[in-house]
A and B are shown apart, each in its own frame.
Chain A
Amino acid sequence: MNIAWYIGLSAVIFCIGASGLIARRSPLVMLLCLELMLNAANLSLIAFARMHGNADGQIFALVVMVVAACEVVVGLGLIVAMYRNRMPIDIDRISELRDPRD
C-alpha cells in the first residue's frame, strides 16, 4: 500500500475526532474524541517513519502516546472531582469558574 493511503486515513480519523469534539457535550466522550485525534496524528507519524525508513518518527509516536496517557489520567481525575462536587457532567452547564456551592 502506498503511504498516501495511510496519510489519507489518518486525515479522515482526525476530522471525525475534531467534529465529535464539537458535537458531544459529555466531557468523557470529548476525551475519547481527543484520543481519536491523537491516534490519527500517531498513524501519520508512523506512516512518515515508514516513508523515510527512519525509526525516529516511531519514537515521536511513542512520546505522543505517553502524553495522551497523561492527558487521560488528569482529565479523568477532573471528571471524578466534578462528580464528587455534585457538579453536572455536562460541558454546557459548567460555564463558570466558580465554587459550585455558592
Chain B
Amino acid sequence: MVQLLFFMAAIGAIGGALAVVLLRNPFFSVLALVVHLMALSVLFLLLHAEFLAAAQLIVYAGAVMVLYVFVVSYVGGADELLAEAGVARKLAPVFGVVLLFAFSLAIGGSALKALDTRGADLPAGFGSPAQIGELLLTRFLLPFEIASFLLTIAAVGAVLLARRRRGLEEVDDVSGDGGVV
C-alpha cells in the first residue's frame, strides 16, 4: 500500500515537474506546479511530516499559486517562441542529465547506511502540529521570529516594487489602468 502510494505520488511529482518545464503556456505551467505540489504533499505524509503536508497544501498549492495565477492573468503570459533558442538553451537537457549523474554519484557514494532502511523508529506524534509548534516556540524560537520578520519585509518590498510610480510614467498612461495590481 505504501509502495503503491509512493509510486503514484512520485509519478505525479515528476510528471508535474516535467509539465512545468515543457508546457509553452505559463498558465498551464502554474497548474502543473499545483499538481506537483499536491503529489509532494502525499510524499510528505508518507514521511510522517503531517504538519508540513498540510502547510504545503494550504500555503503553497493554495495561497502562493493563487498569487501566480493572478500575475499570469495580469501580465497575460504569452507563449514563448522556440525558434530563436540559443546554444545554451539547447544544452539545458544535457546539463540536467549531467547534474543527475553527479547527484547519483553523490547518493551512491555516500556512507549513510541508513539510506537503505525505512528510517529510525519514530516517537509518538512525530511531525504532528503539536510537536512542530512546540519546537518552533521553544528550541527554534529565533528562526521563527526571523522568518516572520522576513515575511513582513517581503510583503512591504513587493508593494513598493509593484506600486504605480506616478512621477515616472507617461501622461497618457495615468488615466489608463486604475487601481493597484
Binding site for B on A (CB under 8 A): 1-9, 11-20, 22-26, 28-29, 31-33, 35-36, 39, 42-43, 46-47, 49-56, 58-59, 61-63, 65-74, 76-81, 83-84, 89, 92
Contact = CB atoms under 8 A, between A and B. Distances in A.
Contacts of B40: 39, 42-43
B158 A58 contact: no
Given A2-B117, A36-B33, 8 more contacts: A1-B2, A1-B6, A16-B17, A23-B85, A28-B77, A50-B49, A58-B132, A72-B67
Interface class of chain B by DSSP: helix
B8 interface: no
Given A58-B52, A58-B132, A59-B135, A74 B161 contact: yes
Given A55-B131, A58-B51, A36 B118 contact: no
Interface residues of B, number: 91
A26 B91 CA distance: 17
Contacts of B162: 76-77, 80-81, 84
Shortest Cβ-Cβ A-B pairs, 10 listed: A19-B96, A53-B120, A20-B21, A70-B154, A77-B161, A77-B158, A23-B92, A11-B103, A22-B92, A80-B162
A28 to B, nearest CB: 5
